[in-house]
Structure 1
């Protein structure tokens, strides 16, 4: 549902008009930011330094902050906008970045909308759970995986998604801190709203970020894990099935195509080395018939075992698409045993997609899911 937002007049797309700023200057006293000033006055500079700005701040950073305050019409002395310093190893000092709260973004959006006689509003905020399902209210105890906000400006939709893991502020142990621990759904929704508003008002909101977006910049630096050598892992794998696991992990980690292709080659080499001579036609009792489900008695009654399509649909849709769900894989394996499914030759996952037994495919996917969970726990 879209909600229209009205805005005050006497503004421009650049922020308040000169008349409005002059009025503010008259009523704001010595600290009021005038539209014609090019540097901070001694009184303004003194108050800015009392707010935590250190002597190492550069003249360029201060000048840029003044211009931004004039352009947006936000008052630094009313804490609508502020300059935050964060230590930079590259620069060897605190580097200062303008920040505001989500309310500052809303003020700017209202001003611009009022001047242009346009419209601006929102669709309902939605949150995403870890399985990828979107909800219009977040009731779970654990934090949402993401939030989505859609801003509508002059009838055009501007949507943005913010993921919790990218913006959460944490302690050194990785646990959320502050409002991210107390109100995670609200915090990530603010980040998504800021992203959407910046899409809808790119000129007016350029150069300033919200506090919620930048809090993750204060997270303690985590120990950097050495990069994985996926090619070496594939070469050291004992079987082609294990090579396939390495390929899946490499793809999940964003490895380049050249690495993935080399793993495919290694898997093909190992598969060729493992190939056994085809069984003699007389040994029909030991042969696995493609797509045939065998019971303990060697028969294929429809009522005692699921069809090939039913097994594959359940396996691929629930396991491959959600391969991190180990419990799902265990349930599939258990169901197969309960239905007395002894074996079935199926087409495995990439890279080589050679045929394998159903049991081998389940084992492969289960091991891959366990590996993915271990990686997330380590991260």
Structure 2
């Protein structure tokens, strides 16, 4: 029987992915994931010079909630795995290994409808070789109850993985935190192990970069007639040495938006600028 030709979506070939690689990604690495989600993972790996077949990142189904509207939806989010942070630490050339994970005392607690036994905390220590040859230790201590993934949004019971591997899962979270502390340049994004089963609030990831139009309209424009009336007064203060042009601009700018011409007019009140 002839092999069935796999339907490769548009854009895969342009990314340098052949049909066999796409098949492996869809059927083995990210089984069941949507095409667009797999493409997101490919683009993430390409940007960081990573092999997607090594699965350095995960596609985590998350309930993404908009804090402004209160509405949410389930979607795949690309998240680095702790394995990616290990790769990046090793690539730095100064990764000097790690110590065996330390665990706190076992705790048994009722979560949902079941009793769960888990280590209270895990401490993980990684070692970094400094330029002078000194090895510095970076440790992170993470608590199980603050990190575990629930089996659903309507229950406090842990999911199958956290119930089956309470030590292994919390160790991954502690290791990821320790690696971020030692190598902050690898990124500060939480790993898939840390974010599994949690809700992603988009307000926490909003763009806080000021926009030009936002700055321009942060305050009302300074009325031209008031500006002309106050200009002689500012001139007296500046000539008397009581204020500088910069101080006047800062004071007025805290309440009004000055135009470029108004700012220039104030600067021209400085004696050093009189000839400009």
Which TM-score band applies after superposition, normalised by the shorter structure?
0.3 to 0.5
* Structure ranking higher in strand proportion: 2
Structure with higher RCO (Cα < 8 A, 6+ apart)? 2
Higher Cα Rg, which structure: 1
